[in-house]
Structure 1
Amino acid sequence: MQADAKEHVKKCDRCQKHGDMHLAPPNELRSMSSPWPFAWWGMDILGPFPMASGQNKYLIVVVDYFTKWIEAEPLAKISAFNILRFFKRNILARFGIPLAVVTDNGTQFTDRKFQEFLAKVGTIQHLTFVQHPQTNGQAEAANRVILWGLKRRLGEAKKK
């Protein structure tokens, strides 16, 4: 029965397009753990996507390292202003001031205003290399879940 299932998956077009990729990590993994819920957040940007309503082409994705809770919002532009507004409205106002935020070196995250705000509220920013997204593994895992869901929903919408 297991052999039949493997054969089916190999031949199934949808399984190949939307299945998980299982790759061995290139480096030894080290866990970044949060001491309590909503203390550490991973932030990332997805996109650009084809233009959607409201001129939205991007998604900001934030995930809590302890609970794996995901917050996401569509954005038209990925500016430091929009990132800061999202952070204040969706993270600070709802979950309080985090101890740390993990981001890549994107210009919106390295912008002086964003970094000064984090320093002012006492949140430490951990920067990862763009070439090594695995460092922000929680956000990357959330991105995979969101992209998988979007592909699946869009695939279903095309059939209708």
Structure 2
Amino acid sequence: MKRDIAKFVARCSNCQQVKAEHQGPGGLTQDIDMLTWKWEDVNMNFVVGLPRTRRQHDSIWVIVDRLTKSAHFLPVKVSYSAEDYAKLYIKEIVNLHGAPLSIISDRGAQFTSYFWRSFQSGLGTQVKLSTAFHPQTDGQAERTIQTLEDMLRACVIDFKGNWDYHLPLIEFSYNNSYHSSIAMAPFEHFMVEGVDLRLGGLKWVNFLFLVPR
């Protein structure tokens, strides 16, 4: 049955028109860090330029675990401050997975600000910025963003101004789909060894900014 479904999708004209090319370019192999535990090393990036929803969201913050390939898709606004991102990060990532040891991201203003780097340093997280003009450094998030955009483009007519309302279902679908690189779905990989919330690198963070005013 899986084989028949794969053949059908491969021949689907709509899929061929909507979906981006996901084959990586040829070239020399690159050294990568050895990954040892889930949600210790993550990639993050943004999907921008989306139609504004009724709740005023116009972008998606994509955060991917490099080991299990599991991801979170968080609706955000381009007007968010670094403080807003920090609050959301604590609520949606640290609260569920602990603080990562490292983050790979592009050189967007959200990730290069003094506040963000100091905030992550306080959590014991090392911020690694992708090399300018070499987005392959952040390939994990870039690949996930391509997949997410494929799913959004295919469903945007139905979603209209409520794509943020449906985003949790898109996240579930992504995490419950087979990934050839890990030979299973991210959900399966994530649950293989249970959960270990780590804050081993925690130094000091002033959490006063998290208190509602």
1:141 aligns with 2:143: yes
Instruction: Output the CA distance in 2 between the equivalents of 1:151 and 1:112.
Output: 35
**RCO higher in structure (CA 8 A, sep ≥6):** 2
CA contact (8 A) 2:46 2:60 kept: yes
* Counterpart residue identity of residue 131, structure 1: F
Match of 1:90 in 2: 92
Identical-pair percentage: 24
> What do residues 83-133 of structure 1 show as CA deviations (whole Å, max 9, x unaligned)?
212211111111011110111111111111110011111110111135222
Aligned residues: 151
1:122 aligns with 2:124: yes
CA contact (8 A) 2:39 2:97 kept: yes
- Comparing both structures, which one devotes a greater share of its residues to strand? 1
Q: Secondary structure at the match of 1:131?
A: coil
* Counterpart residue identity of residue 71, structure 2: I
Structure 2 regions of 5+ residues with no counterpart?
A: 1-6, 161-213
* Counterpart residue identity of residue 41, structure 2: W
Q: Which moved more, 1:73-82 or 1:36-45?
A: 73-82
Flag the 1:23–1:138 CA change in 2: closer, same or farther, 3 A.
closer
Instruction: Output the CA distance in 2 between the equivalents of 1:144 and 1:36.
Output: 25
RMSD value, Cα:
2.4
* Counterpart residue identity of residue 152, structure 1: A
Instruction: Output the CA distance in 1 between the equivalents of 2:55 and 2:96.
Output: 25
Match of 1:64 in 2: 65
CA contact (8 A) 2:39 2:65 kept: yes
Match of 1:75 in 2: 76
Q: Which moved more, 1:72-81 or 1:108-117?
A: 72-81
Q: Which moved more, 1:87-96 or 1:73-82?
A: 73-82
Flag the 1:35–1:150 CA change in 2: closer, same or farther, 3 A.
same
Q: Secondary structure at the match of 2:60?
A: strand
Q: Secondary structure at the match of 1:30?
A: coil
Match of 1:12 in 2: 13
1:24 aligns with 2:14: no
